[in-house]
Chain A
């Protein structure tokens, strides 16, 4: 093996979109491969866990880990990769904030398993079989990792050095992170590697945003024809741009849809959903509480709207577990 810096990619509870971002480096991927040795990357390379276990601690310069922590196996892998790596990057919304799989924190394991395996209309399951940690089949014991009740962010499980935000991060954001890593330009530990300002600052519709926004009635995107050049909030469509960190270059807005907050908050904010809610409340029109409440009536799913990518990292983290669990 050469003396090039060793880098690893791994995934936990995620969709694989972050891995696709790496492939979407396209021509530049070849430059990356020339600069580093990728020593672990199950999606692309056949190195096995056993080999990772035998590597000296701290021998990997940096690991980019995407996905939230949902199973016992993912927790073990996060701990193992932390031990083997000098730097650990939480890569993408799921490891950074919990991501969309983090919405499972509205339930617990005992509610999720029956829904999937017993109550689905296409799953007649008279014996009520559900996957088990250990099952005997044909005399053989087969095991599965366990599911936790609570989905966690990576930094709720192990120490994290840097965060690369986004669902998924854009190739440009990833390339900037790799450049900082390889050229000794990394900022202070704990930094989110994207511009520390609101998305509105880089939005192509910035100029059309009125000085004084006044949202009299929130409109759901399917209920209104959206003009392609005007600020979405000015059209009454809930856009989380004011609360969301910049860096994606307003891709969803360029697709004529509102920002849903996947890059998370800027550095001054702990709880993204709380910030988003307060940003929206501050632009709500109406003289009194009742009028403001009316303006917001058309948001029947506040968790999915404001905490879509960040429930596990929020102050509440999850819906309360039943007593005794």
Chain B
């Protein structure tokens, strides 16, 4: 072969995210990044083995797609069952579902901010690797705060189990309602913890302001072109275009912020499409009316974005007062809407945490939440159902077709991170290009590349909880045939060694 050999940098496995991932970076002869690929090396094939299963088992089977956001799959699935059986759950059941869902969203956003994404800011993007984790966070903000994080999370998990049987892989959802009514003493507990969670969200917002917003370097990093992508944004809204996690139409805004489309979840196939690449098991979603133009941004490209930042951009306001205030500050600080800065996801996530906590408070105080009537028995013949929720990591779609006995014939699933897959791929390449120059690599550089995907909290990486200890990283430099030319090691002190 006469083709010139190209240097290759492989990060395998990508760590501190849920699931299996790998980054391949190809350098040109000058050591500049030519291309970078974000690969997912695994497939479990749920869409196939859901065939033949009973529809009512789907909320429990599909929750096993992700043990970090099982409640999201559970709810999307049970909403698909409502639609499948054309059954409307009683008001109390809907409220219990949304209460459990808000509890889950709050817990999940806390997990990401303190255990995964937050350390890059609270401890620092170029702090020694060994400190860039939850223990580093605790060292920075104090043991008392660390304890508060753990305790708040535990209480939210206990509430999820109280209402749903299990916090991981809950069992409450049935077509037409929930398996169990809430009791008066359960309601009191929810009210109590909801109040604490609102306070904790406000504390988290305050911490973010002190640590990140008062630091010019961080603000410049957030605003830098490297972490900026002008794409479409998508999220679920209520009838007043306020963010809603549990129900409502899907709204998409253009890169300039105008409403592009708004559709009912039942018609998702008219608007969302998946693209297949041979080099990864993950499919890439794009907007059908715009089309797939490759891994590019701008109004001509169908690439779009979901999750906290996208939900803020795709909505007009928050439905609760404190979260709305926080949202106004978000846009006042970061400039006009839509905000295209990927790292702003961390801030948007805390605004959403506050909304989830306030929504918990509203729902748990609702007298109707303890109404014992929580089931409407389905009687219609099942045929087809579509259910959509906003998972912590973005819009999640379950679509089932069954026979008349409710046996699944076809299942189609679009999971949150797939919506972001193309933008994550774009982002990883952009940061690699910006930071890896003339073949030079350092710990800080590697962390910048990692921070790109970490901002999205990708669902191949939802279970993200840093642990104390050393955090070295290895990069293998390969030639085109995959032979290792050099191994770069980042040790626990953040020093780079070449072997």
List chain A positions with a Cβ less than 8 A from chain B: 13-21, 23-24, 26-27, 29, 33, 37-38, 41-51, 70-71, 73, 99-101, 103-104, 106-107, 111-113, 115-117, 120-125, 129-132, 135, 137-145, 147, 167-168, 220-226, 228, 251-257, 260, 300-301, 303-305, 308
Contacts and interface: CB of A to CB of B under 8 A. Distances in A.
A38 B279 contact: no
A15 B70 contact: yes
Nearest to A101: B44
B171 A112 contact: no
Nearest to A301: B54
B359 interface: no
A135 B16 contact: no
Given A71-B41, A103-B49, A301-B53, 10 more contacts: A16-B462, A43-B461, A46-B129, A46-B472, A50-B474, A101-B49, A103-B61, A145-B42, A255-B172, A256-B165
A14 to B, nearest CB: 7
B179 A257 contact: yes
A143 B18 CA distance: 21
Contacts of A220: 54, 56, 406
B157 to A, nearest CB: 6
Given A222-B56, A300-B405, A132 B278 contact: yes
A49 B475 CA distance: 11
Contacts of B67: 14-20, 168
Nearest to A254: B165
Contact of A23 (B49, B57, B465, B473): B465
B375 interface: yes
A194 to B, nearest CB: 16
A276 to B, nearest CB: 15
Contacts of B133: 44
Given A122-B273, A168-B169, A116 B15 contact: no
A135 B468 contact: no
A255 B164 contact: yes
A245 to B, nearest CB: 16
Contact of A50 (B176, B480, B487): B487
Contacts of B480: 140-141
A43 B70 contact: no
A252 B42 CA distance: 30
Main secondary structure of the interface of B (DSSP, over half): loop
Contacts, number: 290
B278 A131 contact: yes
B43 A47 contact: no
Contact of A112 (B43, B60, B176): B43
A15 B43 CA distance: 11
A138 B13 contact: no
A303 B15 CA distance: 35
27 contacts: A16-B19, A33-B467, A33-B468, A33-B469, A44-B15, A44-B467, A45-B16, A45-B471, A70-B44, A106-B52, A111-B48, A115-B48, A115-B51, A121-B269, A124-B273, A131-B43, A131-B276, A131-B281, A135-B279, A220-B56, A220-B406, A221-B56, A221-B179, A252-B171, A256-B180, A260-B57, A304-B53
Contacts of A122: 268-269, 272-274, 412, 414
A51 B41 CA distance: 20
A100 B73 CA distance: 15
A222 B378 contact: yes
A48 B165 contact: no
Interface string B169-183: 111101110011000
Contact of B16 (A24, A44, A225): A44
A37 B111 CA distance: 22
A324 B326 CA distance: 63
B179 A255 contact: yes
Contacts of B169: 17, 167-168
A142 B25 CA distance: 11
A255 B467 contact: no
B175 to A, nearest CB: 5
A104 B283 CA distance: 19
B289 interface: no
Given A131-B281, A167-B169, A140 B24 contact: yes
B45 A115 contact: yes
B259 interface: no
Contacts of B280: 131, 144
A305 B61 CA distance: 11
B399 interface: yes
A133 to B, nearest CB: 10
A90 B467 CA distance: 22
B463 interface: yes
Contacts of B150: 26-27, 29
Nearest to A102: B49
A144 B39 contact: yes
Interface in B144-175: 147, 150-151, 153-154, 157, 161, 164-172, 174-175
B205 interface: no
A255 B168 contact: no
A117 B283 contact: yes
Given A135-B279, A167-B169, A225 B41 contact: no
Contacts of B168: 17, 20-21, 24, 168
B47 to A, nearest CB: 5
Contact of A251 (B3, B18, B166, B466): B166
B12 interface: yes
Interface string B1-28: 0010010100011011111100010100
A127 to B, nearest CB: 8
A81 to B, nearest CB: 13
B6 A140 contact: yes
B467 A26 contact: no
A17 B414 CA distance: 20
A68 B8 CA distance: 31
B410 to A, nearest CB: 8
Nearest to B280: A131
Interface in B386-410: 399, 405-407, 410
Q: Which 6 A-B pairs have the closest CB atoms?
A: A255-B165, A17-B67, A48-B474, A135-B278, A15-B67, A142-B279
Contact of B45 (A21, A112, A256): A112
Contact of B15 (A17, A42, A71, A137): A42
Contacts of A33: 467-469
Contacts of B476: 50
B462 A129 contact: no
B18 A43 contact: yes
A122 B116 CA distance: 32
A254 B115 CA distance: 30
